[in-house]
Structure 1
Amino acid sequence: MKNNLNIAIIGLGVVGSSLVKIIENNNYVIKDTKINIVGIKANNKNKKRIFDVKKYFWIDDLESLNSLDIDIIIELVGGTDTFVNSIYKYALKRKVSLITANKAQLAEKGDSFFNLFDSNDLYLGFEAAVLGSVPVVNTISKSILPKNITSIYGIFNGTTNYILSQMYFNKISFKESLDLAIKNGFAEQNSSSDLSGKDAAHKLTLLSNLSFGKKFKFKEMSYDGIENIKLIDLNYGLQLGYKLKLLSICEKIGSKFFASVAPCFVKQESLLSNTNFEDNLAIIEGINFVKTSLLGKGAGGYPTASSIISDLMNYISKDYSNVFNTKYDSMLLAKFVDTSSRKRSYYLRFSVQNKVGVLKSIANFFAKKSISIKSIIQLNPYDSNTVPLVIITNLISDKKINEIKKLLKKNSYIKKEISTIRIEDNIG
């Protein structure tokens, strides 16, 4: 046996408990190094878990760690509250490295912590914070030069992908799919961060920092979720050759960037379209290398814990020179393109009055706004008074489509809701 590595695990939810079991199942040895779990902590000491809590020293508070010899703290609490901040500050004070699965903390407050851990020559591992078991952080930091990457995109949230897959395969509503995800352990009772796109935006922030060697501010990232997605739109999309995914994308346009998390239609034959249930997918495109695709489980205790093991292996191998391949403090702020400069086709669905001349009126409305229509489909009437329409536009900007949506809502011919979905048919 070469070495001993002393770790403290703070947070014993699904991921933390799975990590303990993996270490136990490997007889506490990783890469010829003895892993000593010198302390554990969670909110509830008496909660039943998948391992014997009594085998380990229970950490009542961070100060009780002072008497312990620790190499790494593993933070699996989540969130950005005062206690989480205190864990990072304690690690810096003790001069010990830290591994985390907390994408919110790093995306929202990483500016200070990345720099502090870097300047103190401490490891801050976050593979598990991004795409579960998908080794995207290691791949980018060790294999690809940031200046060569032109875009990174994919499916960065397992919960929403699971819900959309259930809607497609079982033809059930969003609410029914969410209930199923909760029942099967792929969604929390409160999944607002997942459903709103915020979780994916946290991950996109971190991966954009890493991919382009720039500082992306989370508060400047645009994100939208799937709470308002209807089964009817999924079905119409299929008829048009598209499948809907919660797509995360950051691409370089000149010296600036477009970054977005939003429900988008992608081609049915694409890899994006065929990534289902809790799987995550990252696709990296760039100069001087073939497009790289990384696919794996994006949710679940053991898949995520396996990424923590990967970071532990990096630490053991001393293979953790700055993950950004430069001093974080020297990285410049990313600048974003105006939303009018990037154009894509859009899917629009709305209902109109079932009367003569309405279609002509709608066509004239789009013509006056200089919007070219690729196709317009009149669907079977809901009733004798309303007719649903689906319009596919030619290239149009996000900014323009939002203006059009507001104007359509004021049109007396338009009934019920207006659904707009961006079409990304050149990727995946």
Structure 2
Amino acid sequence: MSTNVKIGIAGLGTVGAGVLKIIKAHGDLLEARSGAHLTVTAVSGRDRTKDRGVSLDGLTWYDDAVALADDPEVDIVLELIGGSDGVAKDLCVRSLSNGKPVVTANKALLAEHGNELAALAEQHDAQLAYEAAVAGGIPIIKALREGLAGNSISRVYGILNGTCNYILTEMEETGGEFDAILKDAQDLGYAEADPSFDIDGVDAAHKLAILASVAFGTPVDFPNVYIEGIRNVAAADIAAASELGYRIRLLGVARRTDAGIEQRVHPCMVRRDTTIANVSGVFNAVVVDGDFVDETSYVGRGAGEGPTASAVVADIVDIALGRHTPTFGIPVDKMTDIPKVPVADHIGAYYVCLTVYDQPGVIADVSAVFRDENISIESLLQRGRSKQEAVSVILVTHEVQEAALVRALGKIEKFTHSVAKPRMIRIVSL
């Protein structure tokens, strides 16, 4: 690329403004590192008059973001609009079709249309870069595609959503229930007014689908990611986990097995002495298991203006240097369709919380159901004792196939002495 690289930014929210600030603050440093003078020449946003804390003087303004792709004064297009379809996708398609590199922070777009966009990028010899789409300021895409290129990856997992991690951390530290802590997170700006994508696990699942593709050389397969959020995690579960020597974290786990690839996002109980259990607040963490490096861990801020904009600028520097890596690590035609293992086939230990009336024979009935499903109980604890009133019974199982446990809990839920739907949380061995 030439020594004068011209950039167009579509989307002037937190991240777009952050990119402008970094380029302004570190222009000389970036030129020394990239060998090119980086200049923003054109922008597109919703409101031309909004104060973004950085000057837009002298920049060409586009009301139609897609028009950035056709501007001869734009060498690299930044898609920072968001959303899996619409203008964001149209801009990427037009830019790549024009042979222009695209940098995006849009995990939803890549999870839904990454295979199509990667093929288009290869067809037109244009880079599609997205370090900022997964784990914010943590350079995990570069680590997987480049730093760990000499390894066969068996597993990648991590805390991929800062909002959920903040909520679970606060529930542990304060003893508060989910709804109250979520409201606090919204008041502090850590959670959106509509937090569904975060707390229901969709945001983490988008990121996990991308990580699995890069880690295992398989097409992005978001529809086959099992997704379970944190809405049903109770303060009692947090307290029980602590007593048992665990913490609860929402993890995204992608694992290669003999049967295929597991892709799952759900609350997990993890030992308190593990790296991932000690990542708290809004921080993200990713752990990768490779055959020659063993375990490598990456921790940092997963969102926000600075970390995300930093990752965007890193991609710009790579493009300016002429580094050209296939979008998901290997060319599209070399990817392998590996079967996806359904969560029902998962084998592991489980925490189970039953809410039942304190009556004679309850534990015997529960034990009989578990026996019939060949489920072995490692430990059992009854919370409280009040005759004819509801109490909590906490069970920890030995390893069992999930389908068997789900069948057992379905039977237990129908007992006349069951008060509420049983809760289960997977215990993950890390």
Same structural fold, with TM-score higher than 0.5 when normalized by the shorter chain: yes
Structure 2 CA distance for aligned equivalents of residues 397 and 64 of structure 1: 52
- After superposition, give the CA deviation of every residue in 1:248-291 in whole Å (9 maximum; x if it has no partner): 11111125111110001000111111001111111111212231
C-alpha displacement of 1:149: 0.8
Structure 1 CA distance for aligned equivalents of residues 297 and 329 of structure 2: 21
- After superposition, give the CA deviation of every residue in 1:198-251 in whole Å (9 maximum; x if it has no partner): 111111111111011111411111111011211111011111111100011111
C-alpha displacement of 1:422: 0.6
TM-score, scaled to structure 1: 0.95
Matched with 1:38 is 41
C-alpha displacement of 1:54: 3.8
Q: Does 1:140 align with 2:117?
A: no
**3-state DSSP class of the match of 1:370?**
coil
Q: Does 1:80 align with 2:84?
A: yes
- After superposition, give the CA deviation of every residue in 1:348-400 in whole Å (9 maximum; x if it has no partner): 11122222222222222221222111111011147851221001111112222
Q: Which runs of 5+ in 1 are unaligned?
A: none
Matched with 1:331 is 335
Q: Does 1:26 align with 2:26?
A: yes
- After superposition, give the CA deviation of every residue in 1:35-85 in whole Å (9 maximum; x if it has no partner): 111111112222222212345221121336644411111011111222112
Matched with 2:61 is 58
- After superposition, give the CA deviation of every residue in 1:120-163 in whole Å (9 maximum; x if it has no partner): 11111000001100010111111223761111111111111111
Structure 1 CA distance for aligned equivalents of residues 421 and 410 of structure 2: 11
Matched with 2:223 is 219
Matched with 2:208 is 204
**3-state DSSP class of the match of 1:291?**
strand
Structure 2 CA distance for aligned equivalents of residues 69 and 253 of structure 1: 48
Structure 2 CA distance for aligned equivalents of residues 324 and 351 of structure 1: 46
C-alpha displacement of 1:191: 1.8
Structure 2 CA distance for aligned equivalents of residues 182 and 376 of structure 1: 37
Which range is displaced more, 171-180 or 377-386?
A: 377-386
Structure 2 CA distance for aligned equivalents of residues 261 and 377 of structure 1: 27
Structure 2 CA distance for aligned equivalents of residues 393 and 335 of structure 1: 28
Q: 2:188 aligns with which of 184, 188, 197?
A: 184
Matched with 1:114 is 118
Return the letter of the residue paired with 2:62: I
- After superposition, give the CA deviation of every residue in 1:11-32 in whole Å (9 maximum; x if it has no partner): 1111111111111112476133
**3-state DSSP class of the match of 1:16?**
helix
Structure 2 CA distance for aligned equivalents of residues 139 and 48 of structure 1: 36
C-alpha displacement of 1:93: 3.3
Structure 2 CA distance for aligned equivalents of residues 147 and 341 of structure 1: 27
In the comparison of the two structures, how many residue pairs are matched?
Answer: 425
Correspondences of 1:228-377 after superposition (within 5 Å): 228-254=232-258, 256-377=260-381
TM-score, scaled to structure 2: 0.94
Q: Does 1:155 align with 2:146?
A: no
Matched with 1:5 is 5
Return the letter of the residue paired with 1:205: A
Cα 1:338/1:190, change in 2 over 3 Å = closer
Q: Does 1:47 align with 2:18?
A: no
Q: Which runs of 5+ in 2 are unaligned?
A: none
**3-state DSSP class of the match of 2:277?**
coil
Structure 1 CA distance for aligned equivalents of residues 68 and 370 of structure 2: 67
Structure 2 CA distance for aligned equivalents of residues 349 and 222 of structure 1: 22
Q: Does 1:413 align with 2:417?
A: yes
Matched with 1:127 is 131
Matched with 1:14 is 14
The alignment yields a C-alpha RMSD, in angstroms, of: 1.8
Cα 1:387/1:301, change in 2 over 3 Å = same
Structure 1 CA distance for aligned equivalents of residues 129 and 296 of structure 2: 22
Q: Does 1:104 align with 2:117?
A: no
- After superposition, give the CA deviation of every residue in 1:70-110 in whole Å (9 maximum; x if it has no partner): 11110111112221121012202322100000001011111
**3-state DSSP class of the match of 1:205?**
helix
**3-state DSSP class of the match of 2:278?**
coil
Which range is displaced more, 53-62 or 90-99?
A: 53-62
Cα 1:235/1:282, change in 2 over 3 Å = same
Structure 2 CA distance for aligned equivalents of residues 117 and 75 of structure 1: 15
Return the letter of the residue paired with 1:22: I
Structure 2 CA distance for aligned equivalents of residues 222 and 272 of structure 1: 20
Is the CA contact (8 Å cut-off) linking 1:30 and 1:313 kept in structure 2? yes
Structure 2 CA distance for aligned equivalents of residues 258 and 204 of structure 1: 11
